[in-house]
């Protein structure tokens, strides 16, 4: 954020505001962590604050401080709309384009409040009065820490704010292993532990609360994996029937896509998950190195994200999606074998 933006934000926040904070649809640890941390910070500064999520989020995040205050736009529509309408300031966190909130997009477009965007995805839109966008950042949570630091108010970070920020950095960096994890990320994390984030407990809450059926579903996913060494690619499919058989709950497939990348020599991994209710195949894409899954998802599967982690969708059947993918892959042989 440049000094003019910092001045603007300081001046806006010097008056009590009615603030709505918005994560992207299907919020992940970074989206919820950044929103809930900012919630705690702005509350501590005396503002009226609500987090409005476009839809539900996984159970493995439902222990996070203040998560029980979140308004779900899908489930509590009138309350969510009123919060957005009445807001004098709206923060959008962890997404780059208003279309990433799904059904909530029109409510945001009709809102009269100024927007502040904090985000690390590529190709940021320009709907906000203040845009703090940095694609080199590990996570939006690291950026929220910086944001509070720009305002010279890190003394307001308590254990609950620190816990939320730590959680988002943890999940978005793949437990501090992705390329975007910098020495600065580790310094911020160290600071958060000093401020009361219990790192061991957070790891356990996020990763060690599996249900037996989720692990069985992982078994199915791994046995469905197709490995294409000539393309350095591995992909997994999960049909709706398989999800149903193992009592699928939101968040159960989180992280499955990464198993492809644990294979020696594989640099491109995908998972295709059927969602019969939405009539789509949801795709998660991951890579290591310079192969851009953001570009791949944008170009072929109406999606996007980051260089090494992106999402997309397909509106034809699983079989047709896989055939299409295999055809497309042929044109990427040289990019995958640089």
Query: Using the rule CB under 6 A, is 304 a contact of ligand 5GP?
Result: yes
Q: Dmax of the chain from CA atoms?
A: 60
Does residue number 125 form part of the binding site for ligand 5GP (CB under 6 A)? no
Query: Does 30 contact Mn ion by CB under 5 A?
Result: yes
Which residue minimizes CB distance to Mn ion? 30
What is the token pair recorded at 267?
């640099």
CB of 95 to Mn ion, least distance (A): 8
The edge-to-edge listing of strands for the beta sheet with 233-238 is 226-228, 233-238, 268-275, 280-287, 309-314, 304-305
For residue 20, give the nearest of 95, 86, 102 by alpha carbon: 86
Q: Supply φ then ψ for residue 254, to 5 degrees.
A: -55, 130
List the single partner that 305 binds among Mn ion, ligand 5GP, none, CB under 5 to 8 Å by kind: ligand 5GP
Least CB distance to ligand 5GP at residue 101 (A): 11
Question: 17 or 294: whose CB is closer to ligand 5GP?
Answer: 294
Q: Pick one of 33, 40, 125, 305: the residue that binds ligand 5GP (CB under 6 A).
A: 305
| Residue whose token pair is 């009226």 | 48
94 forms part of the interface with Mn ion (CB under 5 A): yes
SS (H, E, C) 203-246: HHHHHCCCCHHHHHHHHHHHHCCEEEHHHCEEEEEECHHHHHHC
Residue 237, interface with ligand 5GP (CB under 6 A)? Answer: no
Q: Which is nearer to ligand 5GP, 29 or 65 (CB)?
A: 29
Half-sphere exposure of 67 (CA within 13 A, CB side): 20
Indicate which single residue of 138, 312, 314, 325 sits in contact with ligand 5GP (rule: CB under 6 A). 312
Q: Quick one: which segment of 136-144, 302-310, 320-328, 329-337 binds ligand 5GP (CB under 6 A)?
A: 302-310
Q: Which of 134, 142, 124, 116 is nearest to 30 (CA)?
A: 142
55's contact among Mn ion, ligand 5GP, none, with CB below 5 to 8 A by partner kind, is none
Contact residues for ligand 5GP (CB under 6 A)? 24, 284, 303-306, 309-313
């Amino acid at each position: 954020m440049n000094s003019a933006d910092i001045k603007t934000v300081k001046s806006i926040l010097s008056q009590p505001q009615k603030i709505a904070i918005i994560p992207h649809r299907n919020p992940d640890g970074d989206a919820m962590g950044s929103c809930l941390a900012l919630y705690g910070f702005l509350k501590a500064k005396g503002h009226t604050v609500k987090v409005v999520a476009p839809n539900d989020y996984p159970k493995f995040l439902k222990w996070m401080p203040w998560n029980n205050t979140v308004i779900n736009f899908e489930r509590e529509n009138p309350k969510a709309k009123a919060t957005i309408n009445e807001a004098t300031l709206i923060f959008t966190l962890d997404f780059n384009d208003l279309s990433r909130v799904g059904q909530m997009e029109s409510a945001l477009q009709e809102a009269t409040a100024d927007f502040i965007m904090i985000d690390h995805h590529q190709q940021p839109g320009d709907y906000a009065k203040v845009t703090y966008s940095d694609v080199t950042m590990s996570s939006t949570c690291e950026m929220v820490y910086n944001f509070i630091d720009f305002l010279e108010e890190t003394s307001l970070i308590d254990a609950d704010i620190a816990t939320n920020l730590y959680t988002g950095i943890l999940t978005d960096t793949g437990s501090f292993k992705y390329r975007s994890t910098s020495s600065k990320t580790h310094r911020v994390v160290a600071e958060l532990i000093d401020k009361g984030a219990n790192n061991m407990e957070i790891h356990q809450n996020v990763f060690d609360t599996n249900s037996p059926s989720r692990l069985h579903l992982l078994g199915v996913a791994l046995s469905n994996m197709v490995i294409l060494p000539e393309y350095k690619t591995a992909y997994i499919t999960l049909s709706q029937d398989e999800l149903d058989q193992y009592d699928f709950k939101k968040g159960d497939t989180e992280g499955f896509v990464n198993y492809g990348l644990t294979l020696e020599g594989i640099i491109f991994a995908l998972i295709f998950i059927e969602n019969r209710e939405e009539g789509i195949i949801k795709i998660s894409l991951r890579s290591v190195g310079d192969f851009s899954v953001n570009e791949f998802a944008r170009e072929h599967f109406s999606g996007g994200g980051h260089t090494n982690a992106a999402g997309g969708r397909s509106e034809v059947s699983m079989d047709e999606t896989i055939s299409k993918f295999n055809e497309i892959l042929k044109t990427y042989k040289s990019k995958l074998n640089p």
